[in-house]
A and B are shown apart, each in its own frame.
Chain A
Amino acid sequence: MNMDFQSRYSVNSPSVVYETIDGETILMNLANGFYFSFDGIGAVIWELLTQHASPKEIAGLLQNSAADVPVNVQENIVAFIEQLTDNNLLILDTDPASVFVSTEQSNALLSQAGPMNIPPKLFKYTDMKDVLLLDPIHEVDKRGWPEPRKD
């Protein structure tokens, strides 16, 4: 994929749906039924990407908001975007009208991001038929659905 630090992205809707709950973003690609999640810095980057922020703009915002941002943050962001695009969650947005405007909401988001030095991690679940059948009270571990109980 032709990607640079200035590229902008859009959610691959309508087949991709998402919601952020209590700092965790959950996504479904309805075209294949796969489920994804990420939290912490990943959820913040996702939110900024949906507002058409480029990797460079996101890195700038993160660096301005906290002291523990690693020097290779821009590379981490690009690697995360690659995972998102590889899974058809995000698509390149070539519309010149798509621009990012920093708002109070995006600044508030950054303040709730948690540790910045942990690279974003995408969790992917492809066996949704089984995962959806899990009893979310009795067959899951302490983290709750969709993590199955080990015993």
Chain B
Amino acid sequence: MPSHIYNAFPGPVQQYILKAALLQGKESIRAWESFKTQWDPDGILDGGSFRLLPLLYKNLLAQGCTDERMPMLKGIYKQAWCKNQQLFFDVQPLLEMLVTANIQPLLLKGIPLSILYYKDRGTRPMSDADILVPRPQARKAIDLLRKNHWIPENEAYLEYNLRYGKSMMFHKQKGFEFDLHWYPFFESAHQLYQDIFFENSREFILGGNSFRTLSAGDHLLHILVHGLKFNPEPPIRWIADAHQILCEAQEEIDWKRFLGLCEQFKVSLAIREALDYLVQTYQSPLPAEITQGLHQHPVSLTERWVHNYTISHSEDLPEAFFPRIQSLWINYLRLSPHRSLMRHLWGFLGYLRFRTRGKNYLKIMTYYLRRSLQKVRTYAF
């Protein structure tokens, strides 16, 4: 798949599914009828659309739809329900193990979203769990997991990930896997922000036990920042997730904090585009002053560049030299809390130094300058 694809927002057919799954009454049924004319069940449906079908089923059922394809949709719902139930069950001993070791886990994304906002165990299919631990306890959590036979993915990148990343995947028996996060998303991956999500967390009940998750506003922010990125599997589920949060918990969101975090993480542009789209297309309930507030946030050229790049490019590093440098620079800018160019450049050198396993600054600068000159010469002559 080419890396330059803008797929964070749905295409026309995907939008029919979303409208059929999120809207009510005639609008939902009309969108379903339009989707049906475009959907050949013997063909291939993209993964992003497929993941919306359980929600589509439940919404069509609520509208009294008796279409001949309902048994198939019901089967998709039932399969998602079974997989989710097993995941809810499997994650609990893991959470209890972390709590027993005095590590406070926060659940992110699918599991708390299903329970708190979808209020249904089958409408949001998920393949893994996401657990956030405080950054200072990340190493302790990793050691504990290893001791209990959890296997980290890409262990060679552990130190790099702890310093400049946000998470690491672990797996064990039966195919159960989860992402251990120490920051929810790249833009928050700095020690300045290591406590803010925990301070504002909320309780939720899983299997009769009390656990914690992000507050509704922080969850919305996480979903939007995470969703508005290029992903090989169309990430359009952010639309359903955000719509569910807004429908269920819009009133409990601390909007002042939300707007402040958008500015702090330099994601106002992305969030503004996302919320405008949700309100205009799905009538998601959102106070008008929030989008107005976002439109008043100053958006720097850097923020615009980072947003335009990340929404259309894979996180994998390109092979070619200049695109690779650009990608590294953007990756660094996403996690840099600074705003001045000099501080970005200095931080970027440290970032490159870490990636190149401790070569000194002079060697790094010499290497990249030499490679750049070589490339320029190749293009020029």
Residues of A within 8 A of B (CB): 13-15, 17, 19, 21-22, 24, 26, 28, 30, 33, 35, 128, 132, 134, 136-138, 140, 142-147
Contact = CB atoms under 8 A, between A and B. Distances in A.
Majority DSSP secondary structure for residues of A touching B: loop
B296 interface: no
Given A137-B45, A137-B76, A35 B71 contact: no
Given A19-B122, A137-B76, 14 more contacts: A14-B207, A14-B208, A15-B89, A19-B121, A26-B78, A28-B86, A30-B89, A128-B82, A132-B79, A137-B45, A138-B41, A144-B71, A144-B74, A146-B78
B75 A143 contact: yes
A142 B45 contact: no
Nearest to B76: A136
Contacts, number: 65
9 contacts: A19-B81, A19-B121, A21-B78, A30-B89, A134-B79, A136-B76, A137-B41, A137-B50, A142-B71
B79 A136 contact: yes
A144 B122 contact: no
Contact of B79 (A22, A142, A145): A145
Interface string B287-309: 00000000000000000000000
Contacts of B82: 26, 28, 35, 128, 132
Contact of A21 (B42, B45, B74, B86): B74
Contacts of A24: 74
A138 B42 contact: yes
Contacts of A132: 79, 82-83
A28 B131 CA distance: 25
Contact of B85 (A21, A30, A138, A140): A30
